[in-house]
Amino acid sequence: KHTDYYAIDNSGSGWGFKKNIGAKPDISDALTAKLAQYDTYYMGSEKDRFLYLTFDEGYENGYTGQILDTLKKYEVPAAFFITGAYFDREPELIRRMVDEGHIVGNHTEHHPNLHRLENPEKMKEELKILDDKYFAEYGEHMKYMRPPEGEYSLRVLAVAMDEGYKTILWSFAYKDWQRDVIMGKQYAMQQITPYLHNGAVLLLHAVSKDNAEALGELIDYARAEGYEFKSLDELPENEKVL
C-alpha cells in the first residue's frame, strides 16, 4: 500500500477521448501504462473479440428492470455501478442484479468529484460507506470502482487500489444520461454499433429509455459480428493490455 498519498499527484483529469469507428479510442500508451500501475482499466485485450457491458446507476428512471429482463433472456453478464442513494432506494433491483449473476460496482456513496475531496481519508470514506452497506446485505465486498463523472486523479486511483478495487473506466460512451431526451432505439443503435471494438468496455446509462429498448437488438448485432459478452471478472490483467 502507498504510505504517503499526499506525494501522489491529485491533479484532476476527466476521462475523455476521440472515438474511432471499429477500433479502440485514441489513448496514449503512456497514459495506458500509468493507469495500469493503479489497477485501472478502460478496455480488455485488443486480441479478443470480447465486450464488457457496464451501466451507471445514480437514480432509477424505470428501465433497469427491463434491462435486467433482457440480460437474463440473452444470458449476458453486466456490471452496474451504483451510488449510495441508489442502494438505499432500490433494494429489489440490486437483489436482482446479485441473484442474476451481475457485478454491482462502487460509484461512491454521495457521487462527489473524488479528487476535489483532496483528503485520502475522505476518498476512502466515499467508497467504504457504500461497501459497508453492501457487505452487510450480501456478505461480499465490492471489487470494482468507477469514479463519478469519470473525474479522477492518480491519488484517487491509488486510494481505490489500496482499498482493494480495480477502477473501471470505459472505451465507449455517448451522451445518453439525459433522462428526458428520448430519441428512439434506432438512434441508440446508430450511436453505439459503429464504435464496437475488440475488448470494448461499454458505458451505458440505465436512465435511458433508448438504451433499454435497444439492448436486445444491440446484443443480437454484436453477436452476429462475432463478439462475446464477458464479465469484468474475466478482464485480462493489465499487463496483457499494454
Grid cell of 69 as nine digits: 429482463
What integer pLDDT is reported at residue 240 of this predicted model?
Answer: 39
What backbone torsions phi and psi does residue 125 show, to the nearest 5 degrees? -60, -40
Contact 211, 204 (CB under 8 A): yes
Per this entry, what is the length of the chain? 242
Q: Which residues of 178-214 are buried (b: 16+ CB within 10 A; e: fewer)?
A: eeeeeeebeebbebbbebbbbbbbbbbbbbbbbbbbb
Quick one: pLDDT at residue 239? 55
The rounded distance, in Å, linking the Cα atoms of 205 and 208 is: 6
pLDDT digits (tens), the chain, 242 positions = 898 999 999 999 999 999 999 999 999 999 999 999 999 999 999 999 999 999 999 899 999 999 999 999 999 999 999 999 999 999 999 999 999 999 999 999 999 999 999 999 999 999 999 999 999 999 999 999 999 999 999 999 999 999 999 999 999 999 888 777 788 899 999 999 999 999 999 999 999 899 999 999 999 999 999 999 999 999 998 653 43
Task: Please list the active-site residues.
Answer: 56, 205
Report the predicted TM-score, pTM, of the whole model to 2 decimal places: 0.95
Rg (CA), the chain: 17
pLDDT, residue 136, reads: 98
Which run of H or of E encompasses 145? Answer: strand 144-145
CA dist 88 → 104, 110, 145 (Å): 14, 12, 18
Asked whether the beta carbons of 38 and 165 are under 8 A apart, the reply is: no
| CA gap 108, 146 in Å, rounded | 8
Query: In this predicted structure, what is the pLDDT of residue 56?
Result: 96
Distance in angstroms (rounded) separating the CA atoms of residues 86 and 117: 21
Residue with cell 476535489: 116
